[in-house]
Chain A
Amino acid sequence: MLKVESLDVAYGEIRALKGVGLEVGQGEIVTILGNNGAGKTTTLKTISGLLHPTRGTITLEDQSLLRVAPHAIVSRGVAHVPEGRRIFNRLTVRENLMMGAYLRSDSGIGADLERVFGLFPRLSERLTQVAGTLSGGEQQMLAIGRALMASPRLLLLDEPSMGLAPVLVEQIFDTITDINRQGMTILLVEQNAAMALSIAHRGYVLETGEIALTGTAAELSDNADVRRAYLGE
């Protein structure tokens, strides 16, 4: 579904990505693992158009995403839950969700709203609350729910576990699995490698801007390097 080839991204003089290539198939959960500064977030941002690569290709179902503005990429069915959630603090929960559905004018919005409430019942209790007042976990739920409102075909998730209590992390990951089962393709960036590998089908390991390793989730979990570097053994 998504295909990234030999991607180079630079911040001024600093090359953040060097020839990154990856693929996400329909219905998969693919995870990108890596340390701080390895280039995980940069990869996601480049896919969703916030950053422009100096080289390489990104194609979604054989259509190039290069030089396509971020908002137009959303209209092609890619939703991005950014790192740090980035919900609109001053908007209410409902308004945040409706912003997720900004490009849509179809009749399915109501149904999708119900679906989000089904996944995150907490949100339906806080509809008129200003989003800035939500707890961290609720904000993460809102961020994911907001992305789902775009009814995307591909969901980019950036560190959904960041700053959350372990109980909440599990709850979020359960939900991600749920969403995937309903047919959503997911590209997941995580530092919490154990959690990520437990739900992903395949994974890539990114080190200083390059793909160091790739394989199925099981293969990666068994890899000695991965175990040492990311699973804390």
Chain B
Amino acid sequence: MDVELLIGIFPQVLLDGIILGFMYALIALGYTMVYGVLEFINFAHSEIFIFGAFVGVEVLLGLKSIGLLDGLPWPLVLVLVLVAGMAASGLLAVTVERVAYRPLRGAPRLIPLISAIGISFFLQDLIRLVESLWRNAFNLVYPTMDVLNLRFELSETIDVSVKSLVVIGGALLMLWALHLIVNRTKVGTAIRAVAEDQAAASLMGIDVNRIISLTFLIGGAMGGAAGVLFGVQYGLINPYSGFIPGLKAFTAAVLGGIGNIPGAMVGGLVLGLLEAFAAAYLSLLTGGAFGAEYKDILAFSILILILIFRPKGLLGEVVRERA
């Protein structure tokens, strides 16, 4: 075993894990917010997330075709793309809620879950239909902005690219903004009130349906932002590429204590780091007997362990589990 190598790549793996973790955290917010309010797993969130990535790529390609991609200052382009992706995903989330979930709100709990899964598959193929008509393509590539690809080589084994900084910065900004909205504004308080007790909230004059829509809007927008950052960081999307990250992010949300916003962030980071370290080190530590492909097993095993000892997730204290 090459100890020097093991130590040498550590900071880089840490960075990889943090980026992945923030990505998961951003996606997990959508699951966790909806869960907090409706106690229901919005399976379609993975497609809401990838929809943001698609809108983002369309905006970028649009800018490119009119020659503005390099003409405008890159932070402006980024903000533009983020806003577009967030708006689109947010609206999609609201529409999905309106069409597929609200009519089922009184139904037994698992019925909307199946509806959500149905919507998830439906959206995958719908995105594919539209994209194949519009671009005649299956995989879409994020046009790169040269600035984002700049790298700073800190040592032989460690380097940091501008886009990874952008991803971390963007994610932190989003999380901070969400924190402000939820904890410092009236609607944010209303969201938390609705999450706790819908009937009592409606007795305060809160329009519960509107707050639920708003929750979907915000959760969806976070997903859209994650989608854009995902595209910027990893470069390639197709209509089905949201599903697995969505599943992982959902896991992260549960890990942190579902329904709990800081929990989603912690869960995302834990899962991201776990995956990164497992993928990088398993093979090195076992001499190739177990490789990177075991990262999911490790992640899920640790998830199971954590839940055994903390059945409500890492930060799940405040979430009440109905007996």
Contact = CB atoms under 8 A, between A and B. Distances in A.
Interface residues of A, number: 26
Interface in B199-243: 199-208
Most buried by B among A75, A79, A99, A150: A99
A88 B193 contact: yes
- Chief secondary structure at chain B's binding surface: helix
Contact of A102 (B192, B204, B318): B204
B189 interface: yes
Contact of B190 (A82, A99, A150): A99
Contact of B202 (A50, A95, A146): A50
B190 A91 contact: no
B197 A86 contact: yes
A89 B205 contact: no
A56 interface: no
Given A98-B189, A99-B190, A102-B190, A150 B204 contact: yes
A100 interface: yes
B193 A82 contact: no
Interface in B260-278: none
B322 interface: no
Contacts of B190: 99, 102
Nearest to B197: A86
A103 B206 CA distance: 7
A206 interface: no
A134 to B, nearest CB: 15
Contacts of A74: 202-205
Contact of B192 (A86, A90, A100, A146): A90
A150 B202 CA distance: 12
B135 interface: no
Contacts of B189: 91, 95, 98-99
B199 A99 contact: no
B202 to A, nearest CB: 4
Given A91-B189, A99-B190, A69 B199 contact: no
Contacts of B206: 71, 99, 102
Contacts of B16: none
A80 interface: yes
A48 B199 CA distance: 10
A98 to B, nearest CB: 7
A27 interface: no
A75 B205 CA distance: 6
Given A88-B192, A90-B318, A91-B192, A99 B204 contact: yes
B196 A50 contact: no
Interface of A: 48-50, 69-71, 74-75, 79-80, 82, 86-91, 95, 98-100, 102-103, 146-147, 150
Given A86-B199, A90-B192, 8 more contacts: A50-B199, A69-B202, A82-B203, A88-B192, A88-B197, A88-B200, A95-B192, A95-B193
27 contacts: A50-B202, A69-B202, A70-B202, A71-B202, A71-B205, A71-B206, A74-B204, A79-B203, A82-B200, A88-B192, A88-B196, A91-B189, A91-B196, A95-B193, A98-B186, A98-B189, A99-B189, A99-B190, A99-B201, A99-B204, A99-B206, A100-B204, A102-B186, A102-B190, A103-B204, A103-B205, A150-B204
Q: Which 10 A-B pairs have the closest CB atoms?
A: A74-B205, A70-B202, A103-B205, A86-B200, A71-B207, A80-B203, A99-B204, A71-B205, A88-B196, A102-B205
